[in-house]
């Protein structure tokens, strides 16, 4: 608009609501605004402003809803992560429980096996006792000794708490209980084994079958009843010679029995013969001294004399013979 243009507004209440006069280079123009037009403009302005306000309200409402949705989504994600962690923890716990159950089953199997071994040992001992005749004085002594062993075992053996069925969430507690029972069973097994060893040794002491060596030493001459040249020095030998390397050592009976001879012979020197019953006899020769006499009852392990070099001998040793029903046996077969 140029400087010489003039604009003026005139309010006309009669015909027009508002008149606009524009002067340009001496020319005047008038723009008249009626009330209806003004009202329409106002309505349009109100509608625009109202729509804008509604739009802004909707925008901010949607924005708030979106923010709330994001927060809810984050909360759901956190919850899912916690659920996943709990799920993994449950899987690990399940694996632990499964392993614990397997361990319990293995321990139960071990306990059953140990109990079976103890029962078998006990049955074997009872079988051995059943074969002993109580009419014999020596056998009666064995029975009394074994009975005292069992009484001592019953007095010292610990009692066991029975295993009761527990709920799955007490597996660990049950495992501890089984460990305790296993430990106590081991102690009982050790005690029972010691008693069994004592009983076995007691029974062995009264055994009438020769076993073991009568003296500690070196086998210097082997059993050679036929005088084979390939055996030892090739001369006929109905027993074995056990050298004690110039040491005089005690000679022990290799089985329980009754001394039938305790004398001197030009070949055997000082010797002892024991009758063990059931056809078995043993001879111990070249002794420096005999400690028993004919008619004495001995047990396995009793000292009957000492090694020497009496009779036809070239060094300190023990000549040991085993005979079954009059037939000489290789003593090495009775070790």
Number of domains in the chain: 3
- Assess whether 107 and 12 both reside in one domain: no
Evaluate whether residue 72 is within a structural domain: no
Residue environment code for 211-226, b if the CB has 16+ CB neighbours within 10 A, otherwise e: eebbbebebbbbbbee
- φ/ψ bin of 313: left (φ > 0), alpha (ψ from -120 to 50), beta (otherwise): beta
**Helix, strand or coil, per DSSP, at residue 313:** coil
Evaluate whether residue 54 is within a structural domain: no
Evaluate whether residue 256 is within a structural domain: yes
pTM higher than the cut 0.75:
no
**Domain span including residue 268:** 218-334
Range in 89-98, 154-163, 226-235 with the lowest mean pLDDT: 154-163
Last residue of a domain, one of 156, 179, 205: 205
> How many angstroms separate the CA atoms of 117 and 190, rounded?
12
Please report, rounded to a whole number, the percentage of residues in the chain having pLDDT higher than 90: 34
Evaluate whether residue 279 is within a structural domain: yes
pLDDT digits (tens, 9 = 90+) for 128-164: 666 654 445 555 555 565 555 555 555 554 444 444 4
Check residue 328 and give its pLDDT: 96
Phi, psi (rounded to 5 degrees) for 46:
-65, -40
Evaluate whether residue 67 is within a structural domain: no
Q: Which residue has the higher pLDDT, 292 or 123?
A: 292
- Assess whether 195 and 254 both reside in one domain: no
- Assess whether 262 and 321 both reside in one domain: yes
Check residue 14 and give its pLDDT: 46
- Assess whether 252 and 181 both reside in one domain: no
Evaluate whether residue 111 is within a structural domain: yes
């Amino acid at each position: 608009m140029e400087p010489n243009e003039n604009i003026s507004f005139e309010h006309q209440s009669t015909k027009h609501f508002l008149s606009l006069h524009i002067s340009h280079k001496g020319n005047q123009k008038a723009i008249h605004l009626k009330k209806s037009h003004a009202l329409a403009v106002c309505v349009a302005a109100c509608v625009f402003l109202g729509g804008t306000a509604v739009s802004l309200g909707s925008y901010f409402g949607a924005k708030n809803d979106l923010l709330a949705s994001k927060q809810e989504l984050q909360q759901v994600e956190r919850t899912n992560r916690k659920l996943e962690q709990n799920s993994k923890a449950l899987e690990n716990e399940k694996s632990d429980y499964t392993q614990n159950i397997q361990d319990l089953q293995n321990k139960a199997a071990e306990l059953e096996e140990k109990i079976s071994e103890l029962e078998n040992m006990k049955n074997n001992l009872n079988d051995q006792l059943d074969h002993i005749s109580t009419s014999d004085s020596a056998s009666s002594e064995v029975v009394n000794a074994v009975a005292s062993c069992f009484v001592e075992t019953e007095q010292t053996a610990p009692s066991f708490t029975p295993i009761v069925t527990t709920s799955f969430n007490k597996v660990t507690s049950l495992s501890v209980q089984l460990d305790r029972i296993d430990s106590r069973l081991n102690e009982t097994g050790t005690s029972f084994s010691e008693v069994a060893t004592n009983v076995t040794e007691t029974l062995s002491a009264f055994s009438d079958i020769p076993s073991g060596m009568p003296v500690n030493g070196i086998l210097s001459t082997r059993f050679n009843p036929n005088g084979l040249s390939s055996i030892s020095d090739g001369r006929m030998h109905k027993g074995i010679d056990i050298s004690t390397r110039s040491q005089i050592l005690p000679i022990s009976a290799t089985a329980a029995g009754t001394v039938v001879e305790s004398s001197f012979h030009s070949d055997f020197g000082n010797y002892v013969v024991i009758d063990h019953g059931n056809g078995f006899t043993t001879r111990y020769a070249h002794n420096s001294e005999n400690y028993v006499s004919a008619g004495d009852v001995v047990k396995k392990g009793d000292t009957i004399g000492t090694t020497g070099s009496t009779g036809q001998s070239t060094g300190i040793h023990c000549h040991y013979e085993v005979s079954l029903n009059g037939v000489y046996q290789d003593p090495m077969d009775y070790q």
